[in-house]
Amino acid sequence: MDGETPEAARPEELDAARAAGGHTPEPTRRLPREARRYFVLQALVWTVPVAVAGTLGGGAIGGLGGAALAIAALLVAGVGSVPLPFIRWRRWRYEVREEELDLLRGALVVTRTLIPMTRVQHVDTRRTVISDLFELRAVVVHTAAGSHEIPALRPGEAAAIRDRIAHLARTPDDV
């Protein structure tokens, strides 16, 4: 196991926290280090076109305005290519608890989502050409309202999490 992937909080502690009326404990599990470069590559899909379009557009306009546009586009693309994917990786936390899936994520907009296990309809692992480059898999959880994913996990871990969620979601009550 990766040193940066701490163990999940034990269920007894959670129950104690809930009984005490405290906040739901934050999720603790992190994504593997390979995910950083994977996120960077994913970001390039939009940052490169922005940089190219901004530079060409700026050149076409010319003058001070054109230069400003080109610089702005390069700045946005630069920030979007490396710092943002790294922040995204640093922020990502997830936790598979017996009664819910807890996701915390986002670089500029931080979102925390709780999905009750009884609402999970099915769960997949997904690989793409890009994720294969880094030997990473996504776990995708589907509910009646939509889907959520843990975007980058090592294959063994992804399979284990998928099976655990499938097991926990086995007895839905009523859609």
Partner 1 sequence: MTSEGDRPPGGPELPQGRPSPPPAGPRRLHPAEIILASLDNARDALIAIVVAVIGAASGSFGAAGLAALAVAGLVVAAVAGYVRWQHTTYEVRGPSLVFRRGVLSPDETAVPLGRVHAIDTSQGPIQRLFGVHELHVQTAGGGARGEIKLRAVTDADAAWLRAAAGLAEPAERELPGWRLGGRRLLVTALTAPQVGMLAPIAGGIAALADNVLGNSGRDLVERAPTDTGSIVLIACALLAGAWLISFAGAIVAFGGFEVVRDGDRLRIRRGVLQRRASSIPVTRVHAVVVVEGILRRPFGLASVRLETAGYRDEPAAAQTLLPLTRLTEVDATLRELVPALAPGTGRLEPPPQRARPRYAIPGVVAALAAGVAATAVWPQAWPALVLLPAMAVAEALGRHRAAGWRLEGGLVLLRGRRLARRTLVARIERLQEHRVRQTILQRRAGFADVAVAVGSGHEGGVRYLEQPTALDLFDRLR
Residues that bind partner 1 (CB under 8 A): 23-24, 100, 108-116, 119, 121, 143-146, 148, 171-175
- CA dist 105 and 116 (Å) reads 18
What amino acid occupies position 29?
Answer: R
Q: Give the DSSP H/E element, type plus range, for residue 152.
A: strand 146-153
Q: Which long-range contacts (CB under 8 A, 24 or more apart) does 60-69 make?
A: none
- Of 62 and 146, which CB lies nearer to partner 1 in the complex structure? 146
Minimum distance from residue 114 beta carbon to partner 1 (Å): 6
- Of 148 and 154, which CB lies nearer to partner 1 in the complex structure? 148
- Of 128 and 147, which CB lies nearer to partner 1 in the complex structure? 147
Minimum distance from residue 120 beta carbon to partner 1 (Å): 9
What amino acid occupies position 100?
Answer: E
Minimum distance from residue 100 beta carbon to partner 1 (Å): 7
- Of 113 and 128, which CB lies nearer to partner 1 in the complex structure? 113
- Of 103 and 158, which CB lies nearer to partner 1 in the complex structure? 103
Minimum distance from residue 110 beta carbon to partner 1 (Å): 5
Q: How many CA atoms lie within 13 A of 75 on its CB side?
A: 6
Letter string b/e over residues 57-72, b meaning 16 or more CB atoms within 10 A of that residue's CB: ebeeeeeeebeebbee
Minimum distance from residue 134 beta carbon to partner 1 (Å): 28
What are the two backbone dihedrals, phi and then psi, of residue 142, each rounded to the nearest 5 degrees? -110, 135
